[in-house]
């Protein structure tokens, strides 16, 4: 049986009591061995002791693990391989490749995937944990308005993040174009962190305002039983410890009305961000070939789609944020306070 690493110390009983004193210390290269006055002995890693004896760090605007890009510097991400991801022998190496790319670029690919909806799901389950929502567990759809959302039409959709109306928005959005006979239908991506960096240079007070203003988003489906999902939160969300921005929520179509008294200030700042996003400077587009699964960090990278003709079948699902970051943490790719 695997030993638990949960805390076993009786915190509440011990609080206020006299605690054991250090009896002896054995100083080793990377650790210290302490014997306490009650006879207990423990070994502590020096790195861990140093970490917790230092003040909590406050960092820059964004975590340096991210490499920001715009339309002219769109990165060439190394794809993971579907078969290798499914094989137990090579899975961890492929997972690591995907997590690394998600952290650096905010997106990742799985190539060589069979053009079937079941294969999209299989690949994602080999990677991490899925995140069902009011659109279902997963989906394979065409432009038939099966749901009252522009995703289910063939009209163009501007850059946005998904599920802004959830208090815990979806962590990763998965796109797999199974087939498309027709014109257009390019997938658009835009680095939200790049947009935040540009906003910071142009108007730091707007970054501050959008990190504090509590805005509501909602999704309404009038069918039966339908949905009415609503969130309250900031457009930019900071890590409460390091103050890095780690989440962008941006979808002007799903935004709720705001109080009249807030309008002037809100639109002043929100428009600055919106204009950067819509300027075309951060907007990369290309047709996604069938067999390539695209994974997009929905806390960072915005997506959209150009209008199209013909029949276009798209398979997709969402994956949870905490679980893919857990995978990155297990592979030692993120720092201690990374969210």
Nearest of 12, 30, 299 to residue 164 by alpha carbon: 299
Q: Mask: binding to Fe ion, 110-149, rule CB under 5 A, as x and -?
A: ----------------------------------------
Minimum Å distance from CB 14 to Fe ion? 50
* Torsional class of 211: left (φ above 0), alpha (ψ -120 to 50), beta (otherwise): alpha
Minimum Å distance from CB 160 to Fe ion? 6
Residue showing the smallest CB distance to Fe ion in the complex: 162
Burial of 150 (0-12, 13-18, 19+ CB in 10 A): middle
Distance CA 298, CA 133 (A): 14
Q: Mask: binding to Fe ion, 23-52, rule CB under 5 A, as x and -?
A: ------------------------------
Per CB under 5 A, does 297 bind Fe ion? Answer: no
225 upstream amide cis, omega within 30 of 0: yes
Q: Mask: binding to Fe ion, 157-186, rule CB under 5 A, as x and -?
A: -----x------------------------
CA angle, 254 as apex, 270 and 325 as ends, to 5°? 85
Q: Which is nearer to Fe ion, 135 or 209 (CB)?
A: 135
Q: Which is nearer to Fe ion, 187 or 206 (CB)?
A: 187
Minimum Å distance from CB 72 to Fe ion? 24
- 141 forms beta bridges with 314
Nearest of 317, 151, 318 to residue 221 by alpha carbon: 151
Minimum Å distance from CB 209 to Fe ion? 25
By rule CB under 5 A, what count of residues binds Fe ion? Answer: 1
Minimum Å distance from CB 261 to Fe ion? 31
Minimum Å distance from CB 74 to Fe ion? 19
HSE-up of residue 143 (Cα within 13 Å, Cβ side): 18
Q: Is beta strand 80-81 parallel, antiparallel or unpaired with respect to 107-111?
A: parallel
HSE-up of residue 54 (Cα within 13 Å, Cβ side): 9
Please identify which residue in the block is written with the tokens 């806390």. Answer: 299
Minimum Å distance from CB 161 to Fe ion? 8
Q: Which is nearer to Fe ion, 162 or 297 (CB)?
A: 162
Judged by the rule CB under 5 A, the positions of this chain that interact with Fe ion are 162
């Amino acid at each position: 049986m695997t030993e638990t690493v949960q805390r076993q110390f009786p915190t509440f009983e011990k609080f206020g009591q006299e605690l054991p004193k250090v009896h002896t210390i054995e100083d080793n290269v990377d650790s210290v061995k302490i014997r306490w006055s009650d006879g207990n002995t423990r070994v502590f890693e020096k790195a861990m002791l140093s970490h917790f004896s230092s003040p909590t760090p406050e960092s820059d605007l964004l975590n340096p693990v991210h490499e920001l890009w715009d339309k002219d510097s769109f990165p060439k991400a190394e794809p993971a391989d579907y078969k290798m991801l499914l094989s137990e022998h090579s899975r961890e190496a492929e997972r690591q490749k995907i997590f690394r790319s998600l952290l650096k670029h905010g997106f990742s690919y799985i190539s060589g995937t069979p053009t079937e909806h079941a294969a999209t799901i299989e690949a994602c389950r080999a990677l991490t944990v899925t995140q069902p929502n009011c659109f279902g567990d997963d989906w394979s759809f065409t432009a038939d308005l099966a749901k009252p959302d522009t995703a289910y039409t063939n009209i163009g959709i501007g850059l946005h993040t998904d599920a802004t109306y959830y208090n815990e928005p979806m962590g990763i959005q998965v796109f797999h174009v199974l087939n498309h006979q027709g014109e257009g239908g390019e997938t658009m991506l835009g680095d939200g962190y790049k947009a935040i960096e540009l906003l910071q240079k142009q108007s730091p007070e707007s970054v501050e305002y959008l990190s504090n203003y509590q805005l509501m988003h909602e999704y309404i489906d009038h069918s039966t039983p339908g949905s009415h999902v609503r969130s309250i939160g900031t457009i930019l969300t900071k890590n409460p410890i390091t103050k890095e921005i780690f989440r962008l929520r941006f979808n002007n179509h799903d935004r709720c009305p705001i109080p009249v008294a807030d309008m002037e200030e809100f639109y002043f700042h929100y428009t600055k961000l919106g204009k950067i996003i819509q300027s075309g400077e951060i907007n990369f587009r290309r047709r996604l070939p069938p067999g390539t699964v695209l994974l997009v960090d929905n806390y960072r990278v915005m997506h959209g789609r150009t209008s199209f003709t013909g029949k276009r079948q798209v398979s997709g699902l969402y994956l949870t944020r905490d679980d893919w970051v857990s995978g990155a943490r297990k592979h030692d790719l993120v720092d201690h306070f990374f969210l």
